[in-house]
Structures are given as structure tokens and as C-alpha cells.
Amino acid sequence: MQLSRILLIEDDRSIASALTQALQTSHHLTVTRSGALALRKAEKNRYDAIILDLGLPDMDGLAVCKQLREQGVTAPLLILTANEKVLSKIHLLDAGADDYLVKPFSLGELKARLWVLLRPPLPPGPRATISVGGIILNRRAHEVRRDDIPIRLRPKEFALLEYLMDHAGTLATRRALTSYAWPDRQNLWTNTVDVHIKHLRDKIDRPFNRQLIVTMHGLGYKLDAAPDTIPEETT
């Protein structure tokens, strides 16, 4: 298996070494504490993902982010920030970031975000935004809203919802859901999907009046709604 190449730009030694330890078995990590050096590295090498701390000793992390995009670097970019309030998510996405994590974060959370970013790109065709029964899911921004209320989902919950929404109104078998959300796993506990669907329901259904995820006993699940009409995308 080829290791994915990650550029980590982080001046905090303890975080850099924790991430290196956590990621080095499945990724090839290049670590630098300098924004300027990172820009040069990214110009010469191809990375599968970039993890960027916003508070660097030599440059503003956001400026690094913008310059990477101006240089034509298309690798998914995950921002690490010490303070959620300093910059809004909109600012970060505007600067070219794909996702962000607020310190302190768990290594599990970081791995989950990275997993999503490293997933192969969607084949051309599916729309970035799907809307079913008042749920709006944006594949690119990795965001979900129901009745305009933002809902935070974990990566597997997101994948399951994405599949259910893509197949709204029809049966999604457990097997289909499993192979979509866990493409690299052969043997999952049979109730893994059910457990994640339960968590998904707690977030996407339970707080609302109408329950959209229907259990098809012995078979799987169905999102019981028709796709909404949404305006054509401009991008």
C-alpha cells in the first residue's frame, strides 16, 4: 500500500511529535515549523494533504493557506487553530482551507477528519449539495443542516446520511450502507451500521417533528422523503 504524503506545518513540538507518532504508520509525514519553508516544499513536492497550524513563528497561517492555493496547490488542507473565535469557518474556507480543528483536539478526531479529506475525490456527476425532506447536505463543505439548523455529524454518520439521501425513497440495504461508509473494511460487526444509524437518528431525526429514517426490518433503512428541488449550482 502506498503511504499518503502529508505536510504538517506546526511549530508546537509536542503536537508535532504526537501527530507524527499517530500518523506515521499509515502516512508519510514531512514536518516543518516554518510557513515560508512549507511554501517552498509544497512548490517542489506533491502532498496528499496538508495540516497547517494558524499560529506560526514566521508567518500568519492564514496567509500560508492563501499562498498555497495561489501557488496552485490543490491538496486538501486541514487547519489547526488555538481559538475558534479568532476566525470564522467562512474565513478559513474562503482562504482555501477544507476543514479545521480547534485545539485541543483528540488524535481520533484528527484521524477522522484526515480520513475524509484523503478519500478519493467524488466522480464528476453528483451534485455538491443534496436536499431531501428539509435536510441539506453539502459534500464539499462537509456540512449538514435540517430546517436550517446546522448538525454536526461524525464522518461515518455523514457517509451513511449521504448514501441514504442519494437513494431517498428507496431501500438502502445494510450491505450497501456498509460498503459505502466502510469501503476498506471487510469484516464489520453486523450491528455496526445499526449503531451508527442510531447515532445519526439522534442528531438528524429525534430533535425534529418528522422522523425520516425508516427501519426496513431485516433489510436495511430508507430515507422516507423525496428529493427537494434546489437551484442549479453555479460552480
- Residues in the site for Ca ion, rule: CB under 5 A? 11, 53, 55
Under 8 Å between Cβ of 102 and 113: no
Cell of 214: 425508516
Q: How far is the CB of 15 from Ca ion (least distance, A)?
A: 8
Q: How far is the CB of 101 from Ca ion (least distance, A)?
A: 13
Give me the DSSP letters along 150-178. EE---HHHHHHHHHHHHTTTSEEEHHHHH
User: Which of 137, 130, 223, 122 is closest to 172 using CA atoms?
Assistant: 223
Greatest distance between any 2 Cα atoms in the chain = 58
Q: How far is the CB of 39 from Ca ion (least distance, A)?
A: 17
Q: How many CB atoms neighbour CB 122 within 10 A?
A: 12
Q: How far apart are CA 62 and CA 152, in angstroms?
A: 24
User: In terms of CB distance, is 81 or 178 closer to Ca ion?
Assistant: 81
User: In terms of CB distance, is 55 or 227 closer to Ca ion?
Assistant: 55
Place of cell 509525514: 29
Q: State the residue number with the nearest CB to Ca ion.
A: 55
User: In terms of CB distance, is 83 or 211 closer to Ca ion?
Assistant: 83
Q: Which residues, in sequence order, are CB contacts of 185 under 8 Å at separation 6+?
A: 178
User: In terms of CB distance, is 38 or 132 closer to Ca ion?
Assistant: 38
Q: How far is the CB of 61 from Ca ion (least distance, A)?
A: 8
Q: How far is the CB of 93 from Ca ion (least distance, A)?
A: 21
User: In terms of CB distance, is 11 or 194 closer to Ca ion?
Assistant: 11
